Structure formats: structure tokens, C-alpha cells
Amino acid sequence: MSRYTGWFVLGVQARNLLPLLAETLQQCDLNVVYRSDDYLMARETPGSVPPSRFNRLVTAEILLEQHLQPGQVRLQVVVKNEELPLHRHNHCQQVFEKIRTAISDNHNWELLDLVAS
């Protein structure tokens, strides 16, 4: 199973963040399938990979943590699929990089800190 995680600290009001994150994930070709007050789950659509490679379909989970200073939110982003990470630059890692870049470069908030693994 491939799994990539990242932690982001954003300068943004938490009440505005979930709709913006959902839009950001949609721009990364992921569909939001579950949403709560502090959690988003999105998945790739089956047409994005060949039918023989459904194990490559990626699920992204974003957990919001608001126990920081006012106006700051920490995100934990987990991107995973069932594919074994036999190559360093696999499909799951590519989708993670796409999401990381989309969050880092988004003009709707200020990126204060980033740790990706």
C-alpha cells in the first residue's frame, strides 16, 4: 500500500477552509465523497486509471486541527492507494505532489509551514 502524508499550517479562518479545500481537491481530479466539520475524504474516479489498475485509484484524507493560534489551521493530508510503491515516482506519489502543490500555491490562504513525507 502506498501512503504519503503531509502537514500544513495555513493562515486562514477555519470556517472558510472546507469549501476551499473541496474545490482544491476537485481541481486535482478528486471527488469529495465525505465531509464533516473537520475532515474531508476524496477519491479519484475510476476513469482516471486503466481498468486493470484499479489498485492505483487514490484516496485523499484531510484532517483539520484548529487548536493553534487564532487564524491558523493545521492540516494533516494523507494520500493512499492499494498499489505497492515499487517505484519512487508512482501514481500515488504523483497525486500527492499535485495536492501538495495545489495547497501550497493556493492564493486563498497563507502557507505558514509544511512538512511532507
Q: Distance of alpha carbon 84 from its chain centroid, rounded?
A: 19
For 42-92, how does the pLDDT look when each residue is reduced to its tens digit (9 = 90+)? 998 876 665 556 677 899 999 998 766 888 899 999 999 988 777 777 888
Q: What is the pTM assigned to this prediction?
A: 0.88
- Dist. CA 101–CA 1, nearest whole Å: 22
64 within 8 A of 39, measured Cβ to Cβ: yes
Residue ranges of domains in the chain:
2-116
51: Cβ contacts below 8 Å, ≥ 6 apart: none
| Averaged pLDDT score across all residues of the chain | 87
63 within 8 A of 75, measured Cβ to Cβ: yes
Q: What is the pLDDT of residue 12?
A: 86
| Least confident range of 57-61, 105-109, 113-117 | 113-117
Task: Tell me the CATH class for 2-116.
Answer: alpha beta
Q: What is the pLDDT of residue 34?
A: 95
State what percent of residues in the chain have pLDDT above 90: 58
Which has the higher per-residue pLDDT, 53 or 16?
Answer: 16
